Amino acid sequence: MRNFLFLLIAAAGLGGCATQIMSEKECLAGDWYGAGLEDGAAGLLEAALDERAAQCTKFGVAVDAQAYAGGRDAALARLCTDEGGYAYGRDGGVYRGVCRPEAEPAFLGGYLSGRRIYALALDRDAAQSAYDTAIGQVNYQTSAIDKARHVLDDAEATAKEIEDAKGALDYALRAQGRANRDADDGLYALGRADEALDQAIASAAQWRRSRAFADARQTLAEAHAFARGEPAISHCTDEMGSFRPSCWLRAGAPLHGRDSGVLCVVGPGEALLVHRQRTASGSAHNYAFYAGEAGSGRIARQSVEGFEVFFEGDGAASYLGVSCQAAP
């Protein structure tokens, strides 16, 4: 089962990157419904059509936006379910809030479960890679030891060759000792990663009944409600494993306080959730803002501002507005 899962992950990649560049042949074929199906299944934003249109314009081909929208909607209808969300998350897809609000709770339920498995599978692969590297070093140093001893056993070896072989042997023996320790540590880490992945798969149903699952789903639902309700926000995503939202401000877009009208921040940039708290009427997100450079995609390492985002109700994720008073 695990091997099959890894094959799926390797084949699917992240599935949430920008649309592939269309060739002239694809543009001339004009299968815009199929293009919509592909982008919808990948969970891409509507802006993916603009990328395709820009490419096809070079070949004198116009977009059929209606056909594209039809294909995208059909794909999202399949994606935005519990089963679709699980497969998307398990294959490493990054959710950008493309589901309709009424379908999002079911999608997020599956997505969180699948993405949790995906994150642990990546950890397991990293542990396997580290162990394989250590074993490779053990084998390499064993070969170096054998080579040096072969020279030392050679009656025809020169004094210089013997001297070099002794130095090489000393170095290889010490390096092999380090590699053996690394291999032991790697094998232990691999066992722990295997155990964590197997346990997560076995306890998936139990985890979905946990408070951690409910809080993660609600936090993401609120972040995407914020993105839908605020024109300055392009979209929100979440960090691997932690399900902590990151929301991206459009270039030049201002975000104002709901009551004061004060300018909080101006895009481009990334707003990263610092913490979420329950309030008397709902909940609030505290975001730190990292400014970006328009056109470069470069984001500051240090937060420059902060703001809070308010939601009304328990589980409804109804966006109320922003306050500029939060510390970064």
Structure tokens at 319: 């966006």
The answer to whether 169 and 143 have CB atoms below 8 angstroms apart is no
User: Across 1-10, 12-21, 57-66, which has the greatest mean pLDDT?
Assistant: 57-66
In this predicted model, what pLDDT tens digit does every residue of 291-301 receive, in sequence order?
998 877 789 88
In this predicted model, what pLDDT tens digit does every residue of 42-83 receive, in sequence order?
999 999 999 999 999 999 999 999 999 999 999 999 999 999
> pLDDT-based confidence at 20, cuts 50/70/90?
low
The answer to whether 222 and 285 have CB atoms below 8 angstroms apart is yes
* CA angle, 94 then 209 then 114, to 5°: 25
Give the residue-averaged pLDDT of 232-259: 91
In the chain, where the domains are located: 2-115, 117-205, 211-323
> pLDDT-based confidence at 19, cuts 50/70/90?
low
Ordered DSSP codes for 276-292: EEE-SSEEEEEEEEEEB
DSSP assigned state of 296 = T
Q: Can you tell me the distance from the alpha carbon of 241 to that of 167, in angstroms, rounded to the nearest whole number?
A: 47
> pLDDT-based confidence at 2, cuts 50/70/90?
very low
Give the residue-averaged pLDDT of 201-218: 95
pTM: 0.84
Of 13 and 195, more confident: 195
Q: How confident is the model at residue 296, as a pLDDT? A: 79
Q: How confident is the model at residue 145, as a pLDDT? A: 96
Q: Can you tell me the distance from the alpha carbon of 303 to that of 209, in angstroms, rounded to the nearest whole number?
A: 35
Q: How confident is the model at residue 13, as a pLDDT? A: 32
Give the residue-averaged pLDDT of 258-263: 90
> pLDDT-based confidence at 9, cuts 50/70/90?
very low
